[in-house]
């Protein structure tokens, strides 16, 4: 990216380019947002971000231990 003598325009271009890059990222099937982390999680065929992966695990795989 090159800079001009117009800082407002440069800032606008910077944020537009950043937004374009985010839009290239995969979309989480839990929150339907673009995943901006370095990793995604594929569980039961679903593409999830870290937060949704943790919720999915809690909702589907967590069990209370029954004490005797």
Round to whole Å and give the CA distance between 14 and 12.
5
pLDDT tens, 21-59?
A: 999 999 999 999 999 999 999 998 999 999 999 999 999
Q: Does domain 7-61 have CATH number 1.10.1740?
A: no
Q: Would you say the pTM of this structure is higher than 0.75?
A: no
Tokens found for residue 35: 């995943």
Round to whole Å and give the CA distance between 32 and 9.
30
Tokens found for residue 46: 């679903």
Round to whole Å and give the CA distance between 57 and 3.
46
Question: What is the Cα 55 distance to its own chain's centre?
Answer: 14
């Amino acid at each position: 990216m090159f800079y001009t003598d117009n800082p407002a325009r440069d800032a606008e271009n910077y944020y537009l380019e950043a937004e374009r890059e985010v839009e290239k990222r995969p979309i989480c099937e839990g929150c339907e947002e673009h995943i901006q982390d370095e990793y995604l999680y594929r569980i039961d065929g679903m593409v999830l971000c870290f937060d949704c992966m943790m919720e999915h695990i809690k909702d589907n795989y967590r069990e209370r231990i029954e004490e005797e």
